[in-house]
Amino acid sequence: MPASAEPPRRVVVERDGPILVEGPVEMTTDEGESVVSDRFVVAICTCRRSRIHPWCDTSHRRRKPAEEGEDTSP
Amino acid sequence: MTPSPEAHTHRPETEPALPDPRGPLSERVLAALAGRPGALPSEDETARADPYGDDLQLLLYVLYELHYRGFAEVDEALEWEPRLLAVRAAAEDVFLRALREGTTGGKDVEEAVGALLLEPVGDDGHSVSHHLQREGTLEQLREYAALRSLYHLKEADPHVWVVPRLRGRAKAAMVAVEYDEFGAGRAENIHARLYADLMADLGLDPAYGRYLETAPAEALATVNQMSLFGLHRRLRGALVGHFAAVEITSSPGSRRLAKALRRAGAGAAAQRFYDEHVEADAVHEQVVRRDVIGGLLEDEPQLAPDIVLGIETTGLLEDRLGEHLLASWRGGRTALRTPPSASS
């Protein structure tokens, strides 16, 4: 491999989950806002439920009903 | 390197003092660490100890601590003292047996991970972060932060020990996540450092080891688990399972704790710690599942039962700690052995 060749940026699409992109990433949201993340991998929300959009906060996870004894606190 | 904005505030930190004993076994081990003559606990005595009791958990904790930062005025050579290692091995047998007996076991990693990926709808009455988010008082948040400091001020440390035992994809991914945990090259962003800032924000003393004395056995056990898995190569699968379980459950839990801190009026550093974990651990979870677990299983498929063990024991010990916290708080009591004093 020639030393100058940049390897292609790796992107992984998770089924029912975020899109993982090698960071750092500068992203323009659909509201025109520019946001930057310099993490080694950035998880981009695709479910639109994240409270820290455009980044994933695991809100895409499937829910299970609370078990017996729900809210037993006074 | 980037110049550190913290350089001017840095001061040397002294190692923690030895804690008080919590029973006959820890008493003799602590005496040995302090350099006093006397017999160490025999293998038989140790084998009869309550695996989750204060005595055995403190004994393990102080012996493991020799591999991290040690204690003030304790001979550093004791880390590899064969008689202390023999005591530790006997205590580890007791602890590990209880962990195995308390979990279902199996070799279906996907199923074990899948169970963690289901978020309960609402509060099932057993979740500490749900409790704190809904009705946690500032005092309860301070207690929680104090006893969790044993874990978070070592955050990601014992997981480094697994690195030489991994290969290829699992190793590269594990190191990438650890790099992030250690601040990606910036001391002020080390997650343990963010936690120390959180503690100071809550009026707690962020010195390493400061709250060992106040932490109940249930909190010691969560830290002893990761030391046990981290120090033994034969338990590398369990270490990876444990790490995955923590990273998978951290993000939603951190979101609730960030909310609890905002509601209780905690400062900016306290919120920053949990806000960072919401975002970071949403990424770490994906990388750990896909590449650390995936890579390890490709290399060593026979480790599947150990990965499941680490996932399940993490749940077991977190549940035990959660039960203790909620029972104490709902009974109007402190969850600590002694209430945390403000930073001095």
Q: Classify strands A63-65 and B119-121 as parallel, antiparallel or unpaired.
A: parallel
Place of tokens 């289901």: B118
Q: Closest-CA residue in chain A for B259? A: A51
Give the DSSP letter of residue B291. Answer: I
Q: Do B119 and A56 touch (CB under 8 A)?
A: no
What average pLDDT does the segment B292-315 reach? 98
Closest CA to B174 of B310, B251, B288, B285: B288
What average pLDDT does the segment B253-280 reach? 87
What average pLDDT does the segment B64-74 reach? 97
Contacting residues for B332 by C-beta, under 8 A, at least 6 apart: none
Tens-digit pLDDT profile for residues A15-72: 889 999 999 999 999 899 999 998 999 999 999 999 999 999 999 998 876 654 433 3
Cα–Cα distance measured from residue B341 to residue B204, given in angstroms and rounded to the nearest whole number:
7
- Which class in CATH covers the domain with range B109-330? mainly alpha
Q: Closest-CA residue in chain A for B120? A: A64
Domain locations in chain B as residue ranges: 14-101, 109-330
CA A74 to chain B, closest CA, distance in angstroms equals 8
Yes or no: say if B282 and A56 are a contact pair by the CB < 8 Å rule. Answer: yes
Q: Closest-CA residue in chain B for A52? A: B279
Q: Do A69 and B124 touch (CB under 8 A)?
A: yes
Q: Do B184 and A14 touch (CB under 8 A)?
A: no
Split at pLDDT 50, 70, 90, the class of A5 is: confident
The answer on pLDDT for A73 being more than 50 is: no
Yes or no: say if B210 and B331 are a contact pair by the CB < 8 Å rule. Answer: no
What average pLDDT does the segment B1-29 reach? 75
What average pLDDT does the segment B118-124 reach? 79
Yes or no: say if B232 and B296 are a contact pair by the CB < 8 Å rule. Answer: no
**Of A61, A69, A71, Cβ closest to residue B117:** A61
A2-16, A29-43, B159-173: lowest mean pLDDT where? A2-16
Sign of the torsion formed by the C-alpha atoms of B318, B320, B323 and B325: negative
Closest CA to B316 of B237, B230, B241, B233: B241
Yes or no: say if B289 and B113 are a contact pair by the CB < 8 Å rule. Answer: yes
In this predicted structure, what is the pLDDT of residue B344? 38
In this predicted structure, what is the pLDDT of residue A3? 58
CA A71 to chain B, closest CA, distance in angstroms equals 5
Yes or no: say if B64 and B70 are a contact pair by the CB < 8 Å rule. Answer: no
CA B222 to chain A, closest CA, distance in angstroms equals 24
Q: Do A72 and B125 touch (CB under 8 A)?
A: yes
In this predicted structure, what is the pLDDT of residue A11? 95
Yes or no: say if B202 and B257 are a contact pair by the CB < 8 Å rule. Answer: no
**Of A41, A56, A67, Cβ closest to residue B287:** A41
Q: What is the DSSP string of B292-328?
A: IIHHHHHH-GGGHHHHHHHHHHHHHHHHHHHHHHHHH
The answer on pLDDT for B194 being more than 80 is: yes
